[in-house]
Amino acid sequence: MILLELVKHEWQKGIRSSGFYKNVAVSIFLGVFSLYMGGLLFFMGFSLNKILEEVPGGTPMELFNGAMLYLLLTGLLLRFMMQQLGTVNLNSYQVLPVNRSLLINFLLLKPLVSLANYVLLLVVIPFAIRSMAAYYTGGVALRFVVAFELMVWCNSLLASFLKRRFGSGLLSFILVLVAFGAIFLLEYLHVFSLFAISRALFGFIVMNPIGLLIPLGAVVVAFLLNKWFFAQNFYPEKFNSKLQNSRTATADLSFLDRFGVIGELISVQIKLMLRHKRTRTLLFLSAFFLLYGLMFYTNEHYGDGMIFFCSMFMTGILMFIYGQWSISWDSAHFDSILTKNIPARTYILSNYYLMLAFNVICFILTTPYFLFGTKIIYMHLTAFLFNTGCNIIFLLFFATFNNKRVDLSRSSAMNYQGTTYKSFLIVLPIMFFPILWVNVLSWLTSLSVAMWSLAAMGLVGLIFRKPLLNLCVKQFNSRKYIIAQGFREVE
């Protein structure tokens, strides 16, 4: 059967990849972490019934049904940003007697077997058993689970269509955010109630046997939209024709040329980040990390150490994302950098000033949190100084130990290619040292002493940045050939 042959080919392509047998430590870590998260979700499913019983406004089933559209819209947004598009080598199969419709169906249905589409069943099934099978019937619980999974499939297919039709560039991302923001704004202004619509819709689906036709119809519509798209863009030359006369996705950065070679290198790095999906997705996600303060600053249960960590994380998120990969992202053309007339100090300085600019941008974007009080203002200022004076130097120095090649041409989301245990070791001290420092000094003395001491560390780092950068340059020179050798190993 041809379909089984296609599945076999995909399996062989995966296990024959050299990367399948590498990064064992990362795979083990992610496996253990996945089991841990799966266990948490499972116990959450059993506890969700009691949690919702304490929420006024309806039964647990009604409350869950009311939240369903929120979950689906949030999931659609995350999938639009992070979901990998299914691929198949069309050129290899077009010369064989393989039906075009079969190839398209295989390409569309392949993502539906991903475990990511079924992980929430660890919450939904226990909740359905405790909240519906116990109070209604087993049929109601079964319809609830099936309807939920069908809507997950619809989300997956719809996200694939939106990404293929509108792309995943910056403009598309902004338009999607505006659309979702408009929906929630209309609800906030009481133009309509998404909660009431969701509760009525999914209440009908769950309580009536014919209700399953609604999510099933949504899946069929999403599938047909994808089929229509491929009917119009099956051949690669037609699909890419719209790119022939298009301008580059990056803005004109010629103003950076006035800063000499350092400015040119910064311009190249920015263009690299904006032109590759993997780096671009990380930049988009950083916008969501800037909202962490809404979770930490509004909760009185968090200690000073965790609140400062949140401040440091938000004011330096772009620095953290770029810093540990500042050299690895150049792996494809690192040999070219070594052969050019680019001194090591110039290369290090370009990364330094780029991370410094990232810190300034993040600090400005987080200034609305100053409305939370004087304490938050002091923490943000301290975090900015500590990030600028200490963490940039730390990242520049230890980034030289990451000599794993990173392929930016690969998929954009859930991609751990190029990630090793060194990547985690670089981040862990930055994460835990400030928390420990603030908690210990706050306990021994006061929060003000902890803040002033961290700010002083940052100021010392800024004052002595030249000798510290010289140390980073020396470290880079001592390891640049080891780095180059590691970057030449292609998975």
Strands (E), 122-215: none
User: Which tokens in the block code for residue 477?
Assistant: 């020179």
Of 406, 413, 388, 411, the C-alpha closest to 465 is 388
Q: How far is CA 207 from CA 120, 150, 218, 253, 460, in A?
A: 21, 16, 18, 58, 66
Of 455, 324, 471, 472, the residue nearest 389 (C-alpha): 455
**pLDDT for residue 216:** 92
Distance of CA 235 to the CA centre of its chain: 31
CA-based nearest residue to 121, from 96, 99, 152:
152
Provide the pLDDT for residue 255.
Answer: 62
DSSP string, 222-236: HHHHHHHHHHHS-SH
Distance of CA 482 to the CA centre of its chain: 30
* Number of neighbours of residue 469 by Cβ within 10 angstroms: 18
Q: What tokens were used for 282?
A: 């990380």
* Residue 319 CA: distances (Å) to CA of 82, 359, 457: 21, 6, 18
Task: Tell me how many degrees the CA angle 318-321-323 measures, rounded to the nearest 5.
Answer: 95
Contacts of 264 (CB under 8 A, 6+ apart): 256, 257
Residue 477 corresponds to which amino acid?
A: N
pLDDT at 454: 92
The pair of three-digit structure tokens given for residue 427, joined into one six-digit string: 């981040």
What pLDDT is recorded for position 250? Answer: 45
Report whether 338 contacts 480 (CB < 8 A): yes
DSSP letter at 251 equals P
pTM: 0.58
Rounded-to-integer distance, Cα 366 and Cα 310, Å = 11
Instruction: Tell me which residue of 292, 423, 309, 314 sits closest to 358, measured CA to CA.
Output: 314
392: how many CB neighbours lie within 10 A of its CB? 30
Residue appearing with tokens 């198949």: 88
User: The tokens of 395 are what?
Assistant: 């990242």
Instruction: Give average pLDDT by consecutive 10-residue segment, the chain, 491 residues.
Output: 59 54 59 79 84 80 85 81 63 59 74 80 87 79 90 87 69 69 74 84 88 90 85 56 45 62 82 76 77 80 86 90 82 81 87 91 88 89 92 89 74 53 70 86 88 92 92 90 81 59
pLDDT for residue 385:
93
pLDDT of residue 474: 93
Task: Write the DSSP assignment of 282-312 as a string of letters.
Answer: HHHHHHHHTTHHHHHTT-TTS-HHHHHHHHH
Q: Fill in the DSSP letter of residue 488.
A: T
The count of residues in the chain is 491
Helix (H, G, I), strand (E, B) or coil at 198: helix
- Rounded Cα–Cα distance for residues 318 and 97 (Å): 49
